[in-house]
Structure 1
Amino acid sequence: MRFKAKLIEARFKRRLNRFAALVEIKGTETLVHIANSGRMNEIFVPGYRVYLQPASGSHRKTAFDLALVELGPLLCSIDSQLPPLLFQEAYHRGLLPEFSDFDRLQREQTFGDSRIDILVSGRSGLCYIETKSVTLVRNGVGLFPDAPTDRGRKHLRALCNAIKIGYSASVIFIIQRPDCNAFSPNDTADPKFGQALRDSLTSGVTAHAYNCHVNLDGVQLDTEIPILL
C-alpha cells in the first residue's frame, strides 16, 4: 500500500488518549490522529521521530494521521486498519499461495454476531479470515496483543464456529515492521487470548504471520514467519 501523499516528519511528544497525540512539526505542536487503540508504550516514546500522512475531510479534528514511527534503523507502521488492506493487496498480486484455491475476495463480512475482515471463496469453498495488527516486538518475536482483548477472543470464537459448520477459517497476524523472526501470542499481556488461539488451531482454524516491508513510500506484506505456541 503506497501512501497517498508525501509524509511529513515530526517528533512525538505525548499521547493524549487512545486516538490522539501531540507531535512537534518544525517547532510547532500539532494534534494528530492515531489509528490504533493499542497501548504501544514501547512505540510512542517522547522524542522519537514520526511520520505523518496528510488527511482531509470536514468531519476531522486533525490534519494528519500518524503513519510511521522510527525505531532506530527501522520504521514501524502503526495503522491498525492497514492489515486487511495489506492482505487484500498481496492476495490480488498472487503472493499468498496458501489461499490460491480461492478466486474471490469480499471485505467486512458478517458471521454470527461478529464482523470478519475478509471472506474468500472458490473451488475450496468459503474461508473466513481475520487479520490482526502487530507492532510489539521483543527479542525478534512479534507479540499480540499488547493489552487484554475481548474483541480478539470473540473473533477467534467466530472462526471456530465457521469451522464447525464446514467452512474454512484463518487468523492472520501482520507484523507492521521488518524485524521479526517469529510470532507468538502475548501470554503475559492476555493469557486468555493465547489459550483461545491454541484452542482455535486445535479446532481447525489455520494461522499465518507475516513481516512487512516499510519505508516512506508505503507498506507491503513481506516474508511469512513461523508461529511459536
Structure 2
Amino acid sequence: MLDIIGPLRDGILLSRPNRFLALVDLEGQTVSAHVPNSGRLPALLEPGKTVLVRPSPRADRRTSHDLVMVQHTTGLVSVDTRMPTLLVASALRAGLIPEMDGYDQVRPEVVYGQSRLDFRLSRQDEECMVEVKSVTLVEQGLALFPDAPTQRGTRHLRELLHAHQRGFRAVIFFVVQRRDAVHLSPNDPTDPLFGATLRDVVHRGVEAICYRCDVGRTLIRLDQRIPVQL
C-alpha cells in the first residue's frame, strides 16, 4: 500500500497535445499537466473526463501540475506508470505477494543483457528476475496490455526468457491500476508481436503474474491476483 501524495484537485481534461502533456480546466483556469504515461490511454484521457491533478513543487518546470488519476465510469484509474514498480517493491519487502515470498534480497533496476529489469530477488537456493508492467486499459472486465506498440516490452520478455534458460526464475508482473479487471490478456490487435512473444516465453517457463489494484484518492494498494489468459 502506498500513500498518494496530494493534495489532489479535480479538473476537466481539455486536450492532450502530446503523450506527456495535458491541458486541464481547474475551476475556469487552464493549466498544463505532465502525463506520466506514454501510452495511448484509450477511453481514459478523453476531453471532458474528470481528472485528478496535483501541483508541481518545482517552479521551474514547464508544466504546473501532474496528472495522477482519471475518474472513469467504474472508478478511479491511476495513470502513473511509476506507481506499479513502487507498489511491487513495497509489497515484496513486506512479504505481501505470496507467489514471491521468502527472498532475502530485493535489488531494484538490475542491468541484464541489453535491458534494465525492475528487480532481482535472491535467496539461498534461487535467483529471480522480475519485470513489472503497468496496465490501464480494461474492456468489460478484460485487462489488455499493451495499449500501444512496445518494442521495449517485447525485448524485456526475451531477456526474461534468457534469464530463465540460465537457471533464474523469471517473472513478468502485470499491475492493473484499477479495480474493475477480472482477467488479463495480451492486446493482440495493438501489438501482435508482444502477444506472440508473451505466449512463447510463458510456454517455455517464464511466469506471468497479474494483480489488480484498489485505487483511492489518498492511497493505492495491490488488491488481488487475477488470471492471465493467453
8 A contact 2:52–2:69 mirrored in 1: yes
The corresponding residue for 2:215 is 214
Q: Separation in 2 of the partners of 1:140 and 1:85?
A: 24
The corresponding residue for 1:107 is 108
Q: Report the TM-score when normalising by structure 1.
A: 0.97
Q: Separation in 1 of the partners of 2:218 and 2:48?
A: 23
Q: Separation in 2 of the partners of 1:54 and 1:222?
A: 28
Structure 2: tracts of 5 or more residues without a match: none
Report the CA distance between 1:89 and its aligned residue.
1.3
Determine helix, strand or coil for the equivalent of 1:131: strand
Tell me how large the CA RMSD over aligned residues is. 1.1
Identity across matched positions, percent: 40
Report the CA distance between 1:55 and its aligned residue.
2.1
The corresponding residue for 2:86 is 85
Q: Separation in 1 of the partners of 2:55 and 2:120?
A: 31
Report the CA distance between 1:130 and its aligned residue.
0.4
Of the structure 1 ranges 52-61 and 215-224, higher mean CA displacement relative to structure 2 is found in 52-61
8 A contact 1:160–1:200 mirrored in 2: yes
The corresponding residue for 1:136 is 137
Structure 1: tracts of 5 or more residues without a match: none
Report the CA distance between 1:42 and its aligned residue.
1.2
The corresponding residue for 1:66 is 67
What amino acid sits opposite 2:20 in the alignment?
A: F
What amino acid sits opposite 1:68 in the alignment?
A: M
8 A contact 1:3–1:53 mirrored in 2: no
The corresponding residue for 2:193 is 192
The number of equivalent residue pairs is 229
The corresponding residue for 1:3 is 4
Equivalent residue runs for 1:126-165 within 5 Å: 126-165=127-166
Which 4+ stretches in 1 moved above 4 angstroms? none
Determine helix, strand or coil for the equivalent of 1:195: helix
Determine helix, strand or coil for the equivalent of 1:56: coil
8 A contact 2:21–2:33 mirrored in 1: yes
The corresponding residue for 2:32 is 31
Q: Separation in 2 of the partners of 1:57 and 1:169?
A: 39
